[in-house]
């Protein structure tokens, strides 16, 4: 059973998303209209994915995102009427995995939901962990460890690190990393990758492990 939590204060928009999700075959689709309810349902129902409007009453969507990410690696898709790149990057920096700017197509949202659930769940158990020095990216367990310590990563961060760890020393362009993380999507900024890499550097505690190749992209140091 797949459970989706929709946090949207516009009743018409929320109902539209709910109907599309149900028509896609998702078994448990819950709708809440404010940030406090979103947090309560997140903790009570433990959904598989959160669709999160940033402009929520009682508790702002950005605060909801920050709190949820501090407690879980739940996939989060932001939906927002704020179109500035700074707002979107702030949401990603707080741990959201994807975003859509209103107005958006419900069919596109369903596609984003499918992609995130695939990344979070459909893992080939025959895959061996990727090892680069003290870094271990365990694809089957969807787990990252550095120097023996587990590192909690969002699905987007994991996908980015997985590609880098698949070929240590090789430089991957931002476009290559973007396709791995978000698929083919011309509306997603390349700066999304910069945010993921910055977060990974902080979490791993080894800033030099992921090397910036200026004007091109990123590479994992060959250790």
Give the count of beta carbons closer than 10 Å to the beta carbon of residue 142: 16
Q: Is the pLDDT of residue 170 over 90?
A: no
Please tell me the predicted confidence (pLDDT) of residue 30.
Answer: 95
Distances (CA, A) of 196 to 73, 89, 92, 149, 170: 14, 10, 8, 20, 18
Q: Are residues 113 and 143 in the same domain?
A: no
How many CB atoms are located within 10 Å of the residue 187 CB?
A: 10
CATH number at residue 160: 1.10.10.10
What pLDDT is attached to residue 187? 52
Distance CA 177, CA 155 (A): 13
**pLDDT of 56 above 60:** yes
Q: How many domains does the chain have?
A: 2
83 and 176 part of one domain: no
Contact 51, 8 (CB under 8 A): yes
Q: What is the pLDDT of residues 63-76, one digit of tens each?
A: 999 999 999 889 99
pLDDT at residue 45, rounded to an integer = 92
Burial 83-118 (b: 16+ CB within 10 A, else e): eeeebbbbbbebbbbbbbeeeeebeebbebbebbbe
Is residue 116 over pLDDT 60? Answer: yes
Q: Are residues 88 and 162 in the same domain?
A: no
Tokens of 169: 């020393």
CATH code, domain with 35: 3.40.50.2300
- Total Cβ atoms within 10 A of residue 65: 25
Shared domain check, 142 and 215: yes
Measured between alpha carbons, how far is 173 from 193 in angstroms, rounded to an integer?
A: 10
Looking at residue 13, its pLDDT comes to 93
> 95 and 181: one domain?
no
**What pLDDT band is residue 105 in, cutting at 50, 70 and 90?**
confident
Output phi, psi for 134, to 5 deg.
-80, -5
Residue 112 and residue 143 in one domain: no
Question: 115 with 138, same domain?
Answer: no
109: domain range? 3-121
């Amino acid at each position: 059973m797949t459970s989706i939590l929709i946090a949207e204060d516009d009743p018409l928009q929320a109902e539209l998303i709910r109907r599309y999700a149900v028509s896609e075959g998702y078994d448990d689709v819950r709708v809440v209209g404010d940030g406090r309810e979103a947090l309560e349902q997140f903790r009570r129902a433990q959904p598989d994915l959160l669709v999160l409007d940033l402009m929520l009453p009682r508790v702002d969507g950005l605060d909801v995102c920050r709190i949820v990410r501090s407690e879980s690696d739940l996939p989060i898709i932001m939906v927002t009427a704020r179109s500035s790149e700074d707002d979107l990057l702030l949401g990603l920096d707080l741990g959201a995995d994807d975003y859509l700017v209103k107005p958006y197509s419900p069919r596109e949202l369903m596609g984003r939901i499918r992609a995130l659930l695939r990344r979070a769940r459909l893992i080939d158990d025959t895959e061996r962990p990727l090892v680069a020095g003290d870094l271990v990216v365990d694809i089957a367990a969807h787990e990252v460890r550095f120097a023996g310590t587990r590192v909690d990563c969002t699905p987007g961060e994991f996908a980015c690190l997985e590609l880098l760890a698949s070929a240590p020393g090789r430089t991957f362009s931002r476009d290559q990393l973007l396709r791995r993380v978000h698929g083919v999507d011309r509306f997603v900024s390349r700066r999304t990758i910069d945010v993921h890499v910055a977060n990974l550097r902080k979490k791993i505690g080894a800033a030099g492990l992921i090397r910036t190749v200026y004007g091109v992209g990123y590479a994992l140091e060959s250790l």
